[in-house]
Structure 1
Amino acid sequence: MEGAKEECKIVVAVDESRESMYALSWCLRNLVSHSSKNTLVLLYVKPPPTVSSFDAAGYMFSSDVVSALEKYGSDLVNSVMQRTEAIIRKFGTNINVERITGTGDAKDVICSIVGKLGADTLVMGSHGYGFFKRALLGSVSDYCAKHVKCPVVIVKHPEDI
């Protein structure tokens, strides 16, 4: 193929869900070429901190509470990344893996990082929300599909089909 890139950057949005882990497995099985140079970027987005030193009423939280919440967030990131590493090992690939953790509204952070990286593809799991829940909450994958500049693959878990 003339003009085809040898190197491909694939971003997989991961979280605690089985859907995102399935999307990662699907990506490794179907998108990652073991013969070319690929970079797989595992992107985890932490929600913005819900507690600061002061709450909405102006009460001060102890630094122990704030530290415990920050540690919980870090433990969650580590847990998700360990699960992704186990999946990648199962596939025995020699792919270059980068890990990025963002903080904020998932849809905005994902779109921003995909753009900054110049990603070739974004892979996301679908949580399989019904019409009403999607209408109320919005869908991160729908939003990203409309706003990123690269192709987006939304992978449904087989149990949600």
Structure 2
Amino acid sequence: MVVKERKILVAVDKSEDSMYALSWCLKNVVYENSKDTLVLLYSKPLRFSYTALDGTGYLFSSDIVATMERYNNELADCIMAKGKKICNDFGEITVETRVENGDARDVICHVAQRLVPDVLVMGSHGYGLIKRAFLGSISYHCTQNVKCPVLVVKRPKSSRNH
């Protein structure tokens, strides 16, 4: 039997929902001893999204902007390290990481278009109707706009800390 080399794109963020989706993907989508490549994708907010007016009518100083940028870079490093550790604990698998700047909806769709993965895996925050109406749903946006299959993984209620 010939095993096809697959590229699996997994959108990750700081939420437990995305790390649960990554773990679920490793247990249920990735084949043991396969040639699968897992691409972990994290979207950092754009700089201008926090250089806008801060609500008091003042722009953030360059020191504050630099501190926020440093924090975002450290956060991205931590998220990727956590994702890679989950993958390493699973076993031998090829893992690539990508950190892109921009709105998560746009970044995920753009990267999926460029990479043409066999599947996009993402977690669901499990927002109710009201929260979803105000905040939007990244997973819903991606299911409507990417060309590859999208697997949205929702954590069981028993493992949520609400």
Alignment of 1:14-93 (within 5 A): 14-49=12-47, 50-52=49-51, 55=53, 61-92=60-91
Q: Could you list the runs of 4 or more consecutive aligned residues of structure 1 that deviate by over 6 angstroms after TM superposition?
A: none
TM superposition shift of 1:87:
1.0
Distance 1:138 1:62, change over 3 A: closer
Equivalent position of 1:137 in the other structure: 135
Instruction: Give structure 2 stretches of 5+ with no counterpart.
Output: none
User: Matched residue pairs, number?
Assistant: 157
Distance 1:61 1:131, change over 3 A: closer
TM-score by length of 1: 0.88
> Structure 1: how far apart are the matches of 2:154 and 2:57?
43
Paired AA for residue 151 in structure 2? V
> Structure 2: how far apart are the matches of 1:61 and 1:150?
40
TM superposition shift of 1:61:
4.2
TM-score by length of 2: 0.87
Paired AA for residue 66 in structure 2? S
Q: Alignment partner of 1:37: what SS?
A: coil
Equivalent position of 2:94 in the other structure: 96
State whether residues 128 and 160 of structure 1, in contact with CA within 8 Å, keep that contact through their aligned partners in structure 2.
no
> Structure 1: how far apart are the matches of 2:17 and 2:50?
28
> Structure 1: how far apart are the matches of 2:37 and 2:137?
26
> Structure 2: how far apart are the matches of 1:126 and 1:58?
35
Paired AA for residue 115 in structure 2? L
Distance 1:135 1:5, change over 3 A: farther
Equivalent position of 1:116 in the other structure: 114
Paired AA for residue 67 in structure 2? A
Paired AA for residue 45 in structure 1? S
State whether residues 123 and 153 of structure 2, in contact with CA within 8 Å, keep that contact through their aligned partners in structure 1.
yes
State whether residues 43 and 100 of structure 1, in contact with CA within 8 Å, keep that contact through their aligned partners in structure 2.
yes
TM superposition shift of 1:51:
3.2
